[in-house]
Amino acid sequence: MKYGVLGLLCMMLAGVALAAGPRAASGQMLASMLVRGSLTVAADGSVAGYLVDHPERLPREVVDLIDRNVPRWRFEPVVRDGKPVVARAAMELRVVAKPLGNDEFALSVAGTSFGRPSSRAASESPPISYKQRATPVYPRQAANARVSGTVYLLLAINHEGQVQHVDAEQVNLDVVGGDREMTRWRRTLAQAAVDAARGWTFNVPASVGDAAPPYRLIRVPVAFTFTPELQSQYGVWHRYLPGPRSVPAWAGKLDIGDSADTVGTDSISAVDEGLRRARSRDGA
């Protein structure tokens, strides 16, 4: 299918190539768009309704893709006081366009994440927020080489808002090159983000009950980019080369349906507190 082929294809081919040439770059680079919205789940876990933020800013094909997929999803019911209830949560979707050749692209929802469910029966505490956050320093060698990308950090925050653990869960690049070269740049950007995050502090709402965990898990994106104003534009395709996902041992077992790179710029996403997609009978 053709999706704004001329503009999309030109944007993808304009991606920075390192060791690889332009032909290799066009074959590896994807186009990505982060779509925000909200979702209402019925007591039985079916989708009762959903809204997409600013659909007028999105390509028609993206809106159609969401309309075909979201109503079919099912979720683990939200239980309050022992009874399933209707609940609403924020929704973030990463839509990816993959080149197929002959000026055609395949659209898919490559990742999803959902916020903490709320309902009339729930008494909600405020979300985690920044108390002190030093901006990570762009590594000089990466800046000189015009390497850009986004590091998705996974952090463990204690009740005082201090960082107990931090690692890069995924690093997506805006450039392409050889495998060894891209691995090196992912490590460079990840280290810069992790070094800065170790000194961050957060405002953490009080946990309820004696069984509260010793720390809370959150995801935070750190973008190293020369065009931050373009990076944050909604409804615009961006160059996208997803990196491998690595979950540190200290994080335990995370929901495999939760995506690491669906957190918007300057956002904080609480891990394992959001709506959960129900597993199908075949385990998918």
pLDDT, residue 11, reads 53
User: What are the C-alpha distances in Å from 63 to residues 12, 57, 269?
Assistant: 21, 10, 24
Percent of the chain scoring above 90 in pLDDT: 50
User: At residue 276, does pLDDT exceed 70?
Assistant: yes
The average pLDDT across 73-100 equals 91
The neighbour count for residue 17, using CB atoms within 10 Å, is 18
pLDDT, residue 36, reads 94
pLDDT, residue 13, reads 47
pLDDT, residue 17, reads 53
Give residue limits of the domains in the chain. 5-113+126-270
| pLDDT bracket for residue 266 (50, 70, 90) | confident
| pLDDT bracket for residue 125 (50, 70, 90) | low
User: At residue 52, does pLDDT exceed 90?
Assistant: yes
Rounded to 5 degrees, what angle do the CA atoms 85, 90, 94 make?
A: 130
164 compared with 210, residue with greater pLDDT: 164
How does pLDDT run across 203-256, given as a tens digit for each residue?
988 765 445 678 899 999 999 998 777 767 888 888 888 999 998 999 888 765
User: At residue 159, does pLDDT exceed 50?
Assistant: yes
pLDDT, residue 119, reads 59
Mean pLDDT of the chain: 84
User: At residue 51, does pLDDT exceed 90?
Assistant: yes
Which range, 9-18, 126-135, 256-265, has the best average confidence (pLDDT)? 126-135
How does pLDDT run across 29-44, given as a tens digit for each residue?
888 899 999 999 999 9
How does pLDDT run across 72-86, given as a tens digit for each residue?
999 999 998 899 999
Cβ atoms of 231 and 92 within 8 Å: the answer is no
User: At residue 27, does pLDDT exceed 70?
Assistant: no
User: What are the C-alpha distances in Å from 204 to residues 73, 129, 180?
Assistant: 32, 7, 39
Closest CA to 108 of 43, 157, 64: 64
Counting runs of H as helices and runs of E as strands, what totals does the chain give? 6, 15
Cβ atoms of 104 and 2 within 8 Å: the answer is yes
Of 74-83, 165-174, 194-203, the one with minimum mean pLDDT is 74-83
The average pLDDT across 43-66 equals 95
